[in-house]
Amino acid sequence: MTDCIFCKIVDKSIPAPRLYEDEHVIVISDKYPKARVHVLVIPKTHIASLDELGEEHKALMGHVMMILPHIAHGQGLDDGFRTIINTGPGGGQEIFHLHVHVLGGGRLPGF
* Active site annotation includes 57: no
DSSP annotation of 7 reads H
Contacts of 14 (CB under 8 A, 6+ apart): 5, 8
Grouped pLDDT means (10 residues each) for the chain, 111 residues = 89 96 98 95 98 97 98 97 97 97 86 58
User: CA 75 to CA 51: how far, in whole Å?
Assistant: 29
| Chain-centre distance for alpha carbon 2 | 19
Residue 106: predicted pLDDT? 85
Residue 105, amino acid? G
pTM of the model as a whole: 0.94
- CA-closest candidate to residue 29, choices 79, 86, 74: 74
First to last CA, the chain: 32
Candidates 38, 97, 99, 101; catalytic one:
99
In the chain, the amino acid numbered 106 is: G
